[in-house]
């Protein structure tokens, strides 16, 4: 997911030129990973650009910050306004948005009590995260890199430093010719992708795992479970094994970046008939219709940038 510079980034309360959104090299978050972030998308609808599940993403943003005692110096409403401002001022349509809060420069001690907190929101036009994956599916591998346990770092928090675990896994996968990695937890169960939750479909039932598998509780994951319920597709939350994935009729990833991306192969084993399955396609279609404002029943998931926001 490369990016094309846009005009403005919201940085500590102000829209600044892209190239002026700078951080000191001694920022605590740069050295120790002490920051939290979100990934969000806007989609072009008939009423203009809208951010998908903005409220749920900001709720998790604040929850992640609380885990690491990062006191975000703005309210959720202020960050809502700022996000929509970023979409508007940059004339974004289908775009990726990245809010981040981190401990800034003050000390290189491990403790953070002297560090100010900086907050930024950037956005840029974006397409598919895994090229071609939405249409044809991706090839994945079980990574030799294990997911960190939540009693070491809470997997339910979306913290900057935690992602070095994912970086190692996807570097290994791509070096070996795969598109993505599946990480196992310390018990050898399926956890998640490097930046995605995982779903399997077996005998018409959609299954995914839960927090006790050391996963990030994805906003898109919750969206998929709700869509499955509304489509009367049986869904179950349970622990998953590699065997469950290998023997599944269908497998797909979910996440803001990957959206709903089918998995067609795991370590050389073809999943189903090697093509995106019918249930995956149905969920994927409904997801995109909701995100693009084509499903009135899911309008509550959209924050329209074309509508003025109430200032506080």
CA dist., res. 288 & res. 16, Å (int): 32
3-class secondary-structure state, position 254: strand
CA separation for the pair 105, 23 (Å, rounded): 8
CB 137 within 8 Å of CB 275: yes
**Catalytic residue list:** 158
Asked if 257 and 96 touch (Cβ cutoff 8 Å), the reply is yes
Candidates 138, 155, 263, 151; CA nearest to 200 is: 263
H runs (alpha helix) in the chain: 28-32, 54-67, 76-89, 133-136, 164-175, 219-230, 242-246, 278-291
* CB of 96 closer than 8 Å to CB of 39: yes
Contact partners, residue 6, CB within 8 Å, separation at least 6: 18, 90, 92, 122, 123, 124, 125
């Amino acid at each position: 997911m490369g990016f094309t510079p846009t005009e403005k980034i919201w940085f500590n309360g102000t829209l600044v030129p892209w190239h002026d959104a700078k951080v000191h090299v001694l920022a605590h978050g740069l050295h120790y990973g002490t920051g939290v972030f979100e990934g969000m998308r806007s989609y072009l609808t008939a009423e203009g650009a809208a951010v998908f599940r903005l409220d749920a993403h900001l709720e998790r943003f604040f929850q992640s910050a609380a885990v690491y005692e990062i006191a975000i110096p703005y309210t959720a409403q202020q960050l809502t306004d700022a996000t929509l401002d970023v979409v508007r001022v940059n004339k974004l349509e289908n775009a990726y948005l990245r809010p981040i809060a981190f401990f800034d420069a003050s000390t290189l001690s491990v403790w953070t009590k002297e560090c100010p907190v900086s907050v930024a929101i950037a956005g840029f036009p974006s397409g598919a995260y895994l090229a071609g994956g939405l249409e044809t599916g991706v090839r994945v591998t079980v990574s030799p890199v294990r997911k960190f346990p939540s009693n070491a770092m809470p997997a339910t928090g979306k913290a900057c430093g935690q992602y070095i675990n994912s970086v190692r896994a996807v570097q290994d996968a791509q070096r070996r010719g795969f598109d993505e990695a599946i990480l196992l937890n310390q018990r050898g169960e399926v956890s998640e992708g490097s930046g995605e939750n995982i779903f399997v479909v077996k005998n018409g039932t959609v299954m995914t795992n839960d927090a006790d598998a050391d996963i990030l509780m994805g906003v898109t994951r919750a969206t998929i479970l709700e869509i499955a319920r509304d489509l009367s597709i049986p869904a179950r939350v349970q622990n998953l094994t590699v065997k469950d994935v290998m023997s599944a009729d269908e497998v797909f990833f979910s996440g803001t970046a990957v959206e709903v991306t089918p998995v067609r192969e795991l370590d050389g084993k073809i999943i189903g008939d090697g093509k995106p399955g019918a249930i995956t396609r149905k969920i994927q279609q409904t997801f995109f219709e909701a995100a693009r404002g084509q499903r009135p029943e899911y309008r509550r998931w959209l924050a329209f940038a074309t509508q003025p926001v109430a200032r506080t």
